[in-house]
Structure 1
Amino acid sequence: MKLHFTKMHGAGNDFVVIDAVRAAIKINEDQIRKIADRQTGVGCDQVLLIEPPKRPDADFEYRIFNADGSPAGQCGNGARCVGRFIHEQRLSAKSIITLQVGSDLRRLEFDETGSVKAELGAPIFAPAQIPFAADEDATEHALTLANVTVMAGVVSVGNPHAVLLVDDIAATPVEKIGPMIQSLDVFPEGVNVGFMQVESNTQVKLRVFERGAGETLACGSGACAAVIHGIRLGQLANKVTVSVPGGKLEVSWDNGVSSVWLSGPAETVFEGKLNL
């Protein structure tokens, strides 16, 4: 099969976007791994598939697959790239687009400059719904790693996140601690692990070790989870700039049951064809 694709990125979080609206496409786990391979394929953190919606109140359906072929429930940077793709490919000219993501609906908003703002829904703190094995919701939870206990905020933003506060993000061994937390039995579906350094109530630095992808240059849902945790701790304002290795993202959340929103760069890199 010859696959047409578009390579895109949001603050370095890179994607292969596939248009399954104008022509039906089916890809399996092995093919996704081949696409995502940085040596023998196109290379990406996630593969994004845009399809016709299954429900009448959505404009498009959007499915996310990690580099290892596993499905993902949410990707904020991916949603913004999907929005840019939809406009660039003239699939829709609407200024507000509704995406079907699993059983949920998520809005994309476009401004006159062409930037894309993505809604990621209201955060979930109930442990059973994250899912996370804990007796009750708490602002922070103790996680035991070998002989060390760390404190983390645990939240779902369409996918599970554990957020740790660190003093020096550059010196933090993300590649060591991330997999240790991901392997804990308290996260039955795995977890994305964020490491956040607070610089002020409107500025943070963040690194994220993602399930199915490892450390990425940016993670949109991870940025949202980090800001949500900082707001719950009383350390952050309702709108925060998140500096990630690949650039800067903006996260806004009004607390409570309101949706969290993500904005930032979304760029097309190139288009191509791949034999699968």
Structure 2
Amino acid sequence: MHGLGNDFVIFHGAVTLTPQAIQRIADRRQGIGCDQILLLHDLSPGVFQYRVFNADGSEAEQCGNGLRCLARLAYDLGAPEDAELHFEGTGGIHLAHRVDRERIRVGMGIPMLDPHSIPFEALARAVSYPIDVSGMEFTVGAVSMGNPHLLLRVQHLETAPVAKIGPALENHTRCPARANIGFVEVHSRHLIHLRVHERGSGETLACGSGACAAVVWGHLMGWLDPKVAVHLAGGALEVEWAGEGAPVYMTGPATPVFSGEIEP
């Protein structure tokens, strides 16, 4: 299943995977191939527990595109079309409902902006922070959507140094849990284009939590309105944020690709 090309292998039920098994499944040449692996476990009707694992075997706290795909799977497996679904993960509890046949709206929670909570090493909270990478200074925003994000504004997204700066910032000493790195091109107060280097997976076609983090930072910087279209390589998401203390809402598609069984 995928959300705008950000693709997942989803296991439904009581499943335990080693980091080595995750790496093998995620391998695009010798496995199934995916950006992340999701585990979905039923707790009660309409209530689920989930976990997210990156392609390198590490566990992530959150995944916005993954949440939409989990909700789509739950509906396809028989959840009532008008039901609001509850998903419990290490990044918090999230509510999802179906907008139409293809699109899911997810409550992504209240963004965390305190550096200690993100986590990001800084003396005090700020809207933006200077950071040094190999002798070059960048200005970044830092936001947690249940998982850590650093954001950079760029003038030309196509030529942004995602492959070089993304991994350097992901593993920066000021990011003790590593971080997802978003490169943001602002087109208007209600439209941005975004590329994301995802922690443990590299650049993906789309990142839902990264889109939310980018809108939060852009709103705090005074660049964006509360409702923004976020265009990524895989397609567009709609993100809404009323401001500090309010939750972020994200709407976008979730698309099944195939289902099957694999040998242990």
**Per the shorter chain, which TM-score range?**
over 0.9
Query: Aligned partner of 1:169: which letter?
Result: L
Instruction: Choose which of 169, 176, 179 in structure 1 pairs with 2:167.
Output: 179
Tell me the number of residue pairs that the alignment of Structure 1 and Structure 2 aligns: 264
Query: Aligned partner of 1:77: which letter?
Result: N
- Could you give the per-residue CA deviations for residues 59-101 of structure 1, whole angstroms, max 9, x where no partner exists? 0101101011111001000000000000111155552111111
Distance in structure 2 (CA, Å) of the matches to 1:275 and 1:161: 35
Moved more, 91-100 or 36-45: 91-100
**What RMSD, in angstroms, separates the aligned Cα atoms of the two structures?**
1.5
Whether 2:27 is the aligned partner of 1:27: answer: no
**Alignment partner, residue 177 of structure 2:** 189
Normalising by structure 2, we get a TM-score of 0.96
User: 1:165·1:196 contact (CA, 8 Å) conserved in 2?
Assistant: yes
Distance in structure 1 (CA, Å) of the matches to 2:167 and 2:152: 14
Distance in structure 2 (CA, Å) of the matches to 1:69 and 1:39: 16
Name stretches of at least 5 consecutive residues in structure 2 with no aligned partner. Answer: none
Name stretches of at least 5 consecutive residues in structure 1 with no aligned partner. Answer: 1-7
**Alignment partner, residue 4 of structure 1:** none
The 3-state SS of whatever aligns with 2:69 is helix
Distance in structure 1 (CA, Å) of the matches to 2:45 and 2:247: 18
User: 1:95·1:111 contact (CA, 8 Å) conserved in 2?
Assistant: no
The 3-state SS of whatever aligns with 1:270 is coil
**Alignment partner, residue 118 of structure 1:** 106
- Could you give the per-residue CA deviations for residues 122-165 of structure 1, whole angstroms, max 9, x where no partner exists? 00011111111101110100010122100000010010000000
**Alignment partner, residue 40 of structure 2:** 50
Normalising by structure 1, we get a TM-score of 0.92
**Alignment partner, residue 143 of structure 1:** 131
- Identity %, equivalent residues: 41
Higher relative contact order, chain-length normalized (CA < 8 Å, sep 6+): 1
Q: 1:250 to 1:112 in 2, by over 3 A?
A: closer
User: 1:220·1:262 contact (CA, 8 Å) conserved in 2?
Assistant: yes
Alignment of 1:104-253 (within 5 A): 104-253=92-241
The 3-state SS of whatever aligns with 2:130 is strand
- 4+ long deviations beyond 3 Å: 91-94
The 3-state SS of whatever aligns with 1:271 is coil
Query: Aligned partner of 1:18: which letter?
Result: F
**Alignment partner, residue 39 of structure 1:** 29
